[in-house]
Amino acid sequence: MKNINPETFDAADLTSDVPITETEWTAGTYATGVQRYVGKDLYEVTATPDTTDEPTAGAAEAVPTWTLIGQINRWRMFNGALRSPTEQTAGPISVTLASSGIVDAVAGLNCIATEVTVTVTDATDGLVYDRTISLVDNDNVLDIYDYFFAPILLKSEFSLFDLPPYAGADIGVTLDGGSGDTRCGVLVAGQQTVLGGTYLNFTLRDRFFSLRERNTFGEFLDVTSRPVAREATFDVSIESRSVSQVLRNIMDRRDVPTVFVGGEDEEHSIVFGFPDEPEVEQLSKGLTRMILTVLGQT
């Protein structure tokens, strides 16, 4: 089992081909419902009938004149919420991240693309890593009939843990959907940590937050679609001498959404969220068992 300690990137660290279609705030008078962005953040006027306040100042008022409603499209893939992805119409999403530390792992979730390319470029050594992986899911193609007639399915998650550990390198990620639209819910780049070995008996659960109202006859009257959160419980084997370090790592990540991966070759074991309180049982002098539940983000 591994996790990725995410590096935080500022506006100066990001180069992206996703255009900014939102309108930046400038001094003036704005009516209720108008949206403007400041930096990465998108605000909406809640004052009636209008306001001249600057959005960040207006949002901090006792009676807010502006409300923070999220991030602009370019930055949504870094805001820690799967439900608000960065989207590109009829084209790829290509970003370059200028890291300040070591980035040796990358993961993406809630993606729509046919392939993803990850590169690492060092200031001295140049291009030191270039790998393209397919997101087309062929696991259910069992025979020649399936090959020609089964619907094309795409994997929505990916993770790579073999990036060379260059400090301060540029990390390039391109999600290509061909002629179709491309989407990335969350992109995480950072330094990986090995927590232990995952037993095969881990469990997954997708929690549906949609509202489904029935009448007294059991008929559905109204359905309100809401996000889904994946939760996982991993059964992990740890060397006893590493327990303190593993628990410290989990404690440091308790309030930071983090990528946890049960198995590198099992996309369904990728969960982005918060670790719950780990349960540790020492089995012998050298072996410890940990039960860790990861509460997934929506």
The two beta strands, 41-45 and 66-71, are antiparallel
CA separation for the pair 109, 186 (Å, rounded):
5
Arch. (CATH architecture) of 2-20+77-194: Sandwich (2.60)
Render 35-102 in DSSP notation, one character per residue.
EEEETTEEEEE-SSSEE-S-HHHHHTSSS-SEEEEEE-GGGGGGSS-TTS-EEETTS-EEEEEE-SSB
Residue 142 has a pLDDT of: 73
Residue 138 has a pLDDT of: 78
More confident of the two residues 264 and 132: 132
Residue 137 has a pLDDT of: 85
What single-letter amino acid sits at 255?
A: D
Q: How confident is the model at residue 264 (pLDDT cuts 50, 70, 90)?
A: confident
What is the distance in angstroms between the CA of the first residue and the CA of the last residue of the chain? 22
Q: What tens digit of pLDDT does each residue of 151-169 get? A: 878 899 999 999 999 999 9
Q: Output 203-211 pairs: Cβ under 8 A, ≥24 positions apart.
A: 203/232, 203/233, 204/230, 204/231, 204/232, 204/268, 204/269, 204/271, 205/230, 205/231, 205/232, 206/230, 206/231, 207/231, 207/296, 209/298
Render 171-183 in DSSP notation, one character per residue.
EEEEEE-TTS-EE
CA separation for the pair 37, 191 (Å, rounded):
31
Residue 179 has a pLDDT of: 84
Q: Is the pLDDT of residue 279 over 90?
A: yes
Beta strands in 123-169 (DSSP E): 126-134, 136-137, 153-154, 158-160
Q: Is the pLDDT of residue 221 over 90?
A: no
Q: Is the pLDDT of residue 139 over 80?
A: no
CA separation for the pair 294, 254 (Å, rounded):
10
More confident of the two residues 114 and 141: 114
Q: How confident is the model at residue 265 (pLDDT cuts 50, 70, 90)?
A: confident
SS3 content of the chain, % helix, strand, coil (to 5): 10, 50, 40
Q: Which two tokens stand for residue 239?
A: 């060397």
Q: What tens digit of pLDDT does each residue of 7-44 get? A: 999 989 999 999 999 999 999 999 999 999 999 999 99
The runs of H, that is alpha helices, within the chain are: 55-59, 144-149, 243-252
Domain with CATH 2.60.120.260 in the chain: 2-20+77-194
Is residue 269 within 8 Å of 262, Cβ to Cβ? yes
Residue 2 has a pLDDT of: 94
In sign, the C-alpha dihedral spanning 153, 159, 164, 167 is positive
Q: What is the mean pLDDT of the chain?
A: 93
Q: What is the mean pLDDT of residues 170-189?
A: 95
Give the range among 147-151, 171-175, 228-232 with minimum mean pLDDT: 147-151
Q: How confident is the model at residue 97 (pLDDT cuts 50, 70, 90)?
A: very high
Is residue 101 within 8 Å of 189, Cβ to Cβ? no
Q: How confident is the model at residue 147 (pLDDT cuts 50, 70, 90)?
A: confident
Q: What is the mean pLDDT of residues 166-193?
A: 95
Residue 96 has a pLDDT of: 98
**To which residue do tokens 């059991």 refer?**
218
